[in-house]
Amino acid sequence: MQTVTSFPTSAVSREELGAILEDYLALDRARVFRRLLVTRFGLLAIVIAILAAVTHELSLYARWFPIGLFLSPPAWAWITELRLMRRLARRLDGLTGRSRTSWHSRPSLAGHKKVVKSS
């Protein structure tokens, strides 16, 4: 995660800084975990989909239910990552109101806008 944040040290207490760093690390761990789950469970879902296409002796439900089961852990990890991203964004937005803060890129749920300032 490439986020650059700068603020005066007197603007944030030690506990707030610790909480922000904790949120950053939790978000980073959640991203790594989600990527691992997508890779592993995605491969298993592809194998099951191929087996379901080859074997027609099973019912439609029996062929597609395992695929849904294999895709649910990555979906759960993605929802957790979004929740952590929102929590971090709320915490950083809370700092914006109190201090002069320069956010070069901060995590957000919306698309990133690039602003070019000409002199």
Q: Is 99 helix (H, G, I), strand (E, B) or coil?
A: coil
Return the DSSP state at 38.
H
Q: Which of 53-62, 92-101, 107-116 bottoms out in mean pLDDT, i.e. has the lowest?
A: 107-116
pTM higher than 0.85: no
Convert the pLDDT of each residue in 48-57 to its tens digit.
989 888 888 8
In the prediction, which pLDDT does 104 show?
Answer: 44
Residue 100 predicted with pLDDT over 60: no
Give the separation between CA 1 and CA 104, rounded to whole angstroms: 13
Question: What is the rounded end-to-end Cα distance, in angstroms, of the chain?
Answer: 30
Write the burial class of residue 77 (CB in 10 Å: 0-12 exposed, 13-18 middle, 19+ buried). Answer: buried
Sign of CA dihedral 112, 84, 78, 5: positive
Task: State whether residue 22 is helix, strand or coil.
Answer: helix
User: Using CA atoms, how far apart are residues 50 and 63, in angstroms rounded to an integer?
Assistant: 10
Asked whether the predicted pLDDT for residue 33 surpasses 70, the reply is yes
Q: Which of 6-10, 16-20, 32-36, 101-105 has the lowest mean pLDDT?
A: 101-105
Cβ atoms 34, 78 nearer than 8 A: yes
Per-residue model confidence (pLDDT) at position 45: 92
